[in-house]
């Protein structure tokens, strides 16, 4: 049986209650304030949720998973427990024209969002080093897939294209992102959960580097729209130029491979958004309209 509780990871009482009433063995912390632009507008919530929320989960998990909770020096935990922190390639900062991020690349986050994610990663690492709690950290590249909120590039561009609205491209549009289908990402997390070595970080990338302009042109072509919809607008402050992930560790050590080619994945996703117009109409609430206006219409 699957139970779904909706709540806030900063809520100590709720997290404590869930651990006390269920035999929770695994925490996979997907929770995050995740949009870079929003973190530039207002960073506090990012620190509260991404850093303090993660600390709350770690603290409660430690308490419930420890074999001798009273002994602060004991590093023995229940069999099979694990805390997985879902992180991002953005913690490594930005790349030049060549090279890729490995798990040994120093952390150099450039936005309040990525700084909050890097802080959470360090906290998770610290709970492993100090208390011995079994952990893994995964760092993925840009995800795409169904049900993605239209603040992110791909759903935003598909949505605007379908409505013949302008397609806002930050700066020259030559920034590079590496795209990963969400199902390939989830398969990687499942493999890390079952086979990852405790304490280790695993990078997960799609090996699909595209400039933003290339990607937007692909969407325009699938939808039979015109490139005249493209509008270059003011660049994002501190905009990372290029991300590229080296996934060889998870591939060679744990046998993960992405199943989707980018062309297949993007075609499927464009179709998904076309056939889920109702979902999109529902998700675009007053709050989204306000965000859109603040981001794009006042520039
Ligand atoms: O790399 C993983 C990260 O990918 C995740 O950790 C973040 O949570 C996620 O938001 C994403 O960050 P990005 O900033 O790369 O994603 P976003 O979809 O916001 O933007 C992708 C690229 O497209 C980026 O170079 C900015 C550009 N862009 C984005 C939007 C929304 C535009 O040119 N115009 C836009 O309107």
Q: Which CATH number goes with the domain that contains 24?
A: 3.40.50.720
Domain count, the chain: 1
pTM for this one? 0.96
Domain that holds residue 151: 12-297
Whether 153 is covered by a domain: the verdict is yes
For the ranges 49-63, 65-79, 135-149, the lowest mean pLDDT is seen at: 65-79
Q: Does the pLDDT of residue 299 top 80, yes or no?
A: no
Q: Which of 114, 111, 213, 110 is nearest to 169 (CA)?
A: 213
User: What whole-number distance in Å separates Cα of residue 39 and Cα of residue 108?
Assistant: 16
Q: Which of 94, 85, 108 is nearest to 31 (CA)?
A: 85
Q: Does the pLDDT of residue 220 top 80, yes or no?
A: yes
Q: DSSP assignment, residue 111?
A: S
For the ranges 43-47, 104-108, 260-264, 278-282, the lowest mean pLDDT is seen at: 278-282
Q: With bands split at pLDDT 50, 70 and 90, how would you rate the model's confidence at 80?
A: very high
Whether 246 is covered by a domain: the verdict is yes
Choose the catalytic residue: 33, 89, 178, 240.
Answer: 89
Pocket of ligand 1 (CB under 6 A): 34-36, 88-90, 141-142, 152-153, 156, 168-170, 175, 177, 212, 236, 243
**What is the number of the ligand 1 atom nearest to the C-alpha of 87?**
6
Whether 7 is covered by a domain: the verdict is no
- How high is the pLDDT of residue 288? 77
Q: Which of 242, 97, 108, 221 is nearest to 177 (CA)?
A: 242
Whether 90 is covered by a domain: the verdict is yes
Q: Which of 89, 114, 152 to mutate for ligand 1's pocket (most ligand atoms within 8 Å of CB)?
A: 152
Whether 171 is covered by a domain: the verdict is yes
Q: Which of 222, 32, 234 is nearest to 143 (CA)?
A: 32
User: What whole-number distance in Å separates Cα of residue 14 and Cα of residue 20?
Assistant: 10
Whether 6 is covered by a domain: the verdict is no
- How high is the pLDDT of residue 298? 66
Whether 5 is covered by a domain: the verdict is no
For the ranges 70-79, 121-130, 271-280, 285-294, the lowest mean pLDDT is seen at: 285-294
Choose the catalytic residue: 92, 113, 128, 273.
Answer: 113
Whether 249 is covered by a domain: the verdict is yes
């Amino acid at each position: 049986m699957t139970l779904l509780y909706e709540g806030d990871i900063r809520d100590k009482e709720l997290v404590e209650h869930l651990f006390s009433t269920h035999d929770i063995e695994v925490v996979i912390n997907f929770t995050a304030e995740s949009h870079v632009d929003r973190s530039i507008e207002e960073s506090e919530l990012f620190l509260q949720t991404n850093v303090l929320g993660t600390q709350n989960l770690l603290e409660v998990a430690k308490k419930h998973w420890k074999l001798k909770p009273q002994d602060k020096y004991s590093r023995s935990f229940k069999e099979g427990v694990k805390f997985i922190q879902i992180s991002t390639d953005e913690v490594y900062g930005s790349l030049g024209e060549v090279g890729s991020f490995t798990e040994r690349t120093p952390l150099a986050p450039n936005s309040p969002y990525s700084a909050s994610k890097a802080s959470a990663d360090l906290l998770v690492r610290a709970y492993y080093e100090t208390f011995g709690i079994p952990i893994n950290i995964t760092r993925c590249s840009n995800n795409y897939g169904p049900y993605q909120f239209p603040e992110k590039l791909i759903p935003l561009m598909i949505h605007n294209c379908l409505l013949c609205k302008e397609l806002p491209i930050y700066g020259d549009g030559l920034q590079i992102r590496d795209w990963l289908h969400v199902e390939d990402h989830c398969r990687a997390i499942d493999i890390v959960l079952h086979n990852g070595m405790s304490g280790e970080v695993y990078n997960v990338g799609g090996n699909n580097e595209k400039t933003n302009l290339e990607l937007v042109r692909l969407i325009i072509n699938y939808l039979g729209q015109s490139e005249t919809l493209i509008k270059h607008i003011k660049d994002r402050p501190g905009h990372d130029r290029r991300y590229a992930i080296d996934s060889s560790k998870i591939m060679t050590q744990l046998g993960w491979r992405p199943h989707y080619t980018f062309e297949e994945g993007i075609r499927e996703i464009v179709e998904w958004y076309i056939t889920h117009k109702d979902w999109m109409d529902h998700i675009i609430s007053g709050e989204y309209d306000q965000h859109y206006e603040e981001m794009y219409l006042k520039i």
